[in-house]
Amino acid sequence: MSESLDRLVRQAHDTHVVVIGGGVSGLVAARECAKVGLRVTVLEATDVLGGVVRSAEVGGMTLDVGAESFATRGGIVRELLDELGLAGEVVSPNPAGAWVAGVPGVGAAPLPKGGVLGIPDNPFAPDVRRVIGWPGAWRAYLDRLRPPLTIGHTHSLGKLVGSRLGSRVLDRLVAPVTSGVYSARPDDIDVDLAAPGLNAALTRVGSLTGAVAELRASRPATRPADAPASDVPVATGAGKAPAPGGAVQGIVGGMSRLVDRLVEVLDEAGVELRRGVAAEKLERTSDGWAVVTSVDEKPLAARAVLVALPEGPARELLAPVVKGLELGDPIAPVVEVVTLVVNAPVLDAAPRGTGVLTVPGSHVAKAMTHSSAKWDWVRDAAEPGVHVVRVSFGAQGEEPATAALDDDAAADLARTEAAAMLGVELPASALIDSHRVRYVQSQPAATIGRAAATSAARTAVRAVDGLGVTGAWVSGTGLAQVIPDARDEADRVRSAALWRS
Ligand SMILES: Cc1cc2nc3c(=O)[nH]c(=O)nc-3n(C[C@H](O)[C@H](O)[C@H](O)COP(=O)(O)OP(=O)(O)OC[C@H]3O[C@@H](n4cnc5c(N)ncnc54)[C@H](O)[C@@H]3O)c2cc1C
């Protein structure tokens, strides 16, 4: 090695970057910094790395209890999995699709294939009519007869769908999707962010269903800004592929294997991974930052700090050192996921496909994933007749119905809700094991006004030397959003840190 190269390598190693938060965004950012030889420390407040991508032992199986898939668009997550040697482990879900439950006068029905955010391209299609009935179909058809001049630019998805297609399309098709995917009401979703191009197509074509048809035909890759957000049984890509589920994939053994592999790679690269260490305060120093932690007597010195936390803790940490940044988000949606392992051979027939979204207000739970019907690897891990279902609670700014319950009562409620959604009997004696976890999410990126708020936060952070911010609250929810953003932000921070050293 030449003397100057040797000096550069030593210089890089002397440059210490602290990444705060050991979720996927933090781990990916740490890897990018380590790649150029920087000395990297990751601080994770809990004892487990991975954040929302996590697993638990339930009924003798290792199961995902947070994120369980990734959006395939752009091949971004896949590229990382390739780099990590996990390409051969990638699997597609059962294409059977999901159902919608709680439809007045109908009960449960398969979620219509196609459409954009639940908005159908043909209200008379048999699967659409089954959910909205003839009155709903004729009401939606009226949209085609409205004079084009009544068309204006509407931001609110709920207002747009309600006014043009009527309440049945809104309540029975669109609201279950936005509630399940975004934990938000249609009224709060920005059409231009959730379905880019839809408003423009509406102006061109003159009807909303026609616009959906045009969008699907012309832009197969178009998709909501940040779906799939969460614990939902369907993917919501607005692409051509009609089968819900076609736009996501998973990993044999669960998404938590991505975290395991990232941790291995970071260990090999010499990154210091500190579990059970929370960052409590940031202070400016003459040549960088001091990070006050929950366990260290002296603050950690760093040339640069990359904050990869959920919105509340991120703002709390950053607000005192970033001009113009406000404190946390008081209406962050809370979701509880209850995983049940049940002895129920009646579920072998997958009576509701891969899962169920509910019409808001019809059930206590907002969605259910029949994991052992959705993923072959889960089915294979379970004994014959044993099934795994994940029931999600909490949407639209309401506390999850399970929030005040102890674990046994939460499992009991999840079991009765799952039985109702699946349309089968699931007696208490069927329950083998359960697991409950609570997540505080960020407002979805597609919420009205959200893009401006996060972009302002990002600009404010970037104005501060040696500071970076990443994570779902700024990048948008979902691994396909989080991973590229973490890479880009780490690249910016590492370049600046090396330049200064
Ligand atoms: C129930 C659920 C299911 C989901 N399913 C999917 C899915 O199937 N597919 C998909 O693509 N996306 C899914 N998502 C979204 C996706 O999981 C997230 O967008 C992504 O994992 C967020 O990663 P992150 O690193 O930004 O945040 P997090 O995963 O929240 O990580 C942040 C980390 O920071 C730590 N931390 C907090 N405070 C401190 C502190 N002061 N000091 C140090 N550490 C701290 C936390 O403990 C946590 O580990 C789901 C989300 C939820 C809630």
Q: Is 337 in the pocket of ligand 1 (CB under 6 A)?
A: yes
Return the closest-CA partner of residue 214 out of 237, 192, 194, 240.
Answer: 240
pLDDT at 3: 67
Q: Strand 248-251 to strand 107-110: parallel, antiparallel, or no bridges (unpaired)?
A: unpaired
Q: Is the pLDDT of residue 240 over 80?
A: no
Q: Is 66 in the pocket of ligand 1 (CB under 6 A)?
A: yes
CA distance 166 to 289: 55
**Pair of tokens at residue 362:** 């019809």
pLDDT at 449: 85
Sign for the CA dihedral angle at 57, 260, 39, 496 comes to negative
Q: Strand 90-91 to strand 272-275: parallel, antiparallel, or no bridges (unpaired)?
A: unpaired
Ligand 1: distance of its center to the CA of 282 in Å? Answer: 22
Sign for the CA dihedral angle at 472, 475, 480, 486 comes to negative
What would the DSSP string read from start to end of 74-141?
Answer: GGHHHHHHHHTT-GGGEEPPPTT--EEEEETTTEEEEPPSS-BTTB-S-TTSHHHHHHHHHHHHHHHH
Ligand 1: distance of its center to the CA of 40 in Å? Answer: 20
Mutate to test the pocket of ligand 1, among 230, 282, 366, 371 (most ligand atoms within 8 A of CB): 230
| Atom 50 of ligand 1, nearest CA residue | 230
pLDDT at 327: 77
- The secondary structure of residue 189, as a DSSP letter, is B
Q: Which tens digits make up the pLDDT trace of 22-44?
A: 999 999 999 999 999 999 999 99
User: Is-contact 394 403, C-beta < 8 A?
Assistant: yes
**Pair of tokens at residue 239:** 């692409």
Q: Is the pLDDT of residue 360 over 60?
A: yes
Indicate which atom in ligand 1 lies nearest the CA of residue 48.
Answer: 49
Q: Which tens digits make up the pLDDT trace of 58-95?
A: 999 999 999 999 999 889 999 999 999 999 999 999 99
User: Is-contact 228 243, C-beta < 8 A?
Assistant: no
pLDDT at 330: 62
β-strand partners of 95: none
Q: Is 482 in the pocket of ligand 1 (CB under 6 A)?
A: yes
| Atom 35 of ligand 1, nearest CA residue | 21
β-strand partners of 436: 338
pLDDT at 11: 65
| Atom 21 of ligand 1, nearest CA residue | 52
Q: Is the pLDDT of residue 125 over 80?
A: yes
Instruction: Give all strands of the β-sheet with 334-343 in edge-to-edge order.
Output: 107-110, 99-103, 355-358, 367-370, 386-393, 334-343, 431-440
**Residue 74 phi, psi (nearest 5):** 75, -10
pLDDT at 193: 87
| Atom 29 of ligand 1, nearest CA residue | 51
Q: Is the pLDDT of residue 286 over 50?
A: yes
Sign for the CA dihedral angle at 424, 387, 255, 220 comes to negative
**Pair of tokens at residue 164:** 């043009």
Q: Which tens digits make up the pLDDT trace of 386-426?
A: 999 999 998 767 789 999 999 999 999 999 999 999 999 99
- The secondary structure of residue 173, as a DSSP letter, is I
Between 3-17, 106-120, 149-163, 295-309, the lowest mean confidence (pLDDT) is in 3-17
CA distance 48 to 141: 52
Residue carrying the six token digits 């995902």: 64
What does the pLDDT average to over 218-244? 41
**Domains, the chain:** 3-49+255-328+448-500 (3.50.50.60), 55-93+331-440 (3.90.660.20), 112-244 (1.10.3110.10)
Mutate to test the pocket of ligand 1, among 53, 179, 309, 334 (most ligand atoms within 8 A of CB): 309
Residue-averaged pLDDT of the chain: 89
| Atom 14 of ligand 1, nearest CA residue | 230
User: Is-contact 273 42, C-beta < 8 A?
Assistant: yes
Q: Is 59 in the pocket of ligand 1 (CB under 6 A)?
A: no
Q: How confident is the model at residue 9 (pLDDT cuts 50, 70, 90)?
A: low
Q: Is 45 in the pocket of ligand 1 (CB under 6 A)?
A: yes
Indicate which atom in ligand 1 lies nearest the CA of residue 248.
Answer: 9
pLDDT at 146: 75
Q: Is 365 in the pocket of ligand 1 (CB under 6 A)?
A: no
pLDDT at 501: 59
Ligand 1: distance of its center to the CA of 162 in Å? Answer: 33
φ/ψ region of 162 (left if φ > 0, alpha if ψ in -120 to 50, else beta) reads alpha
Q: Is 25 in the pocket of ligand 1 (CB under 6 A)?
A: yes
Indicate which atom in ligand 1 lies nearest the CA of residue 437.
Answer: 1
| Atom 5 of ligand 1, nearest CA residue | 67
The number of residues in the chain equals 501
What does the pLDDT average to over 97-122? 93
Q: Is the pLDDT of residue 332 over 80?
A: no
| Atom 51 of ligand 1, nearest CA residue | 230
CA distance 489 to 20: 13
Q: Which tens digits make up the pLDDT trace of 156-210?
A: 999 999 999 999 999 999 999 998 888 889 999 999 888 888 988 888 888 999 9
Q: Is the pLDDT of residue 264 over 50?
A: yes
Indicate which atom in ligand 1 lies nearest the CA of residue 43.
Answer: 43
**Pair of tokens at residue 167:** 């309440």
Mutate to test the pocket of ligand 1, among 28, 52, 273, 295 (most ligand atoms within 8 A of CB): 52
Ligand 1: distance of its center to the CA of 358 in Å? Answer: 24
pLDDT at 335: 92
What does the pLDDT average to over 288-298? 97
Q: Is 333 in the pocket of ligand 1 (CB under 6 A)?
A: no
pLDDT at 148: 56
Indicate which atom in ligand 1 lies nearest the CA of residue 68.
Answer: 8
Q: Is the pLDDT of residue 369 over 60?
A: yes
Indicate which atom in ligand 1 lies nearest the CA of residue 477.
Answer: 19
Q: Is 335 in the pocket of ligand 1 (CB under 6 A)?
A: yes
What does the pLDDT average to over 465-477? 94
